[in-house]
Amino acid sequence: MKVLISGGGTGGHIFPALSIANAVKRRYPDADILFVGALGRMEMERVPAAGYPIEGLPVAGFDRKKLWRNFGVLWKLWKSLRKARRIVRDFAPDIAVGVGGYASGPVLKQAQRRGIPTLIQEQNSYPGVTNKLLAPKAEAICVAYDGLDRFFPAGKIVKTGNPTRKDLDECPLSREEAKRELGFDPSRPLVLSVGGSLGARTVNEAIAASLPMLKENGVSLLWQTGRYGADKFQGIAAGYDNVKATTFITRMDLAYRAADLVVSRAGAGTISELQNLGKAVILIPSPNVAEDHQRHNAEALSHKDAAVMILDAEAVEKLPAELGALLDSPSRRTALETNISAMAMRDADEKIVDRITEIINSK
């Protein structure tokens, strides 16, 4: 079996891609898997570190605000389509899988032109333009939310959920043990703030505004600041003995297990992890993403009382009070945990490999 997997750009695309590849390898150890990503993006490091080969395309996203910059983007797209055609021809995959991100479009487009079956893994509740364009010629579209027949052919949709990192589900420690392992007082409530590996300025500013309230109420905080603004926010955190601030959390399994309450952006992969783990969460969707998809993701949960949503523009003002209210109400947090757990779809990677197998066998 030869499987071509394309996409990336953020952890939200890379983690599902690697989960699918690992599931293919578990079932078919002799499978030949090749990734295609965007040059200069994080997949060019993360994928080889996971043991898979990767080719890079010089593709870039469209600038929707400064349209004159897109002449260079179109030139990169043309070069990427040519390189994708060569990769597809030379590798000759049995199927091409797209997980979203810049590289996904050129690769799946070239595969479809050569009659190679394609599968789309759409993580969000509101799909991007590329996947909507690719969908009519795809064999299957694996999704995590209801209602996507508004955008995709209904007969091709398979509700699998989003693949997540296996290690997060396998942490053997209790909440108190995980707190102790991370250096926190196990008797105190713990808030976990995650804004992504690069960081989220508004989330960090809203957390900074919440620090006096957290200290006054004896609440601990594990704060992933991300790279951007790390010095500033970690400097602020240094003035509080109840806070541990770090650029990147390596043991997310411990962090999630220890947390009584999570503050997070609303990326699809993160939401799927929170659903599987049943965590009470305040979601602050990023306004700086295509199609405003993070807000749609967050609303899909908040409408079912499975999360609290605060808009980015209101986060600094509203987060301290919302955190305080949830920390004062264990019953409210329990309700959120129950409702978000009910939305979980586990073993998405295995379900996607089931569909990959069916498509290849049918050809």
Whether 339 and 304 have beta carbons less than 8 Å apart is answered as: yes
pLDDT digits (tens, 9 = 90+) for 259-269: 999 999 998 88
* Torsion (CA) 233, 234, 239, 242 in degrees, nearest 10: 110
H helix runs in 242-314, sequence order: 252-258, 268-277, 293-302
Rounded CA separation 17/97 (Å): 9
Stated pTM of the model: 0.84
Contacts of 111 (CB under 8 A, 6+ apart): 4, 88, 93, 96, 117, 118
Rounded CA separation 2/4 (Å): 7
Q: Which tokens sit at 290?
A: 């295509």
pLDDT for the residue 36: 95
Q: Which tokens sit at 362?
A: 């049918």
Contacts of 213 (CB under 8 A, 6+ apart): 320, 323, 324
Distances from the Cα of 351 to the Cαs of 80, 162, 248, 345, in angstroms? 31, 10, 31, 10
- Ordered per-residue pLDDT tens for the chain, 363 residues: 999 999 877 767 888 999 999 999 999 999 999 999 988 888 999 999 999 999 999 877 666 666 666 667 777 788 888 999 999 999 999 999 999 878 899 999 999 999 999 999 998 888 888 899 999 999 999 999 888 999 999 999 999 999 988 888 888 999 999 999 999 999 999 999 998 665 588 999 999 999 999 999 999 999 999 888 889 999 999 999 999 999 989 899 999 999 999 999 998 889 999 999 999 999 999 988 777 889 999 999 999 999 999 999 999 999 999 999 999 999 999 999 999 999 999 899 999 999 999 999 998
pLDDT for the residue 67: 60
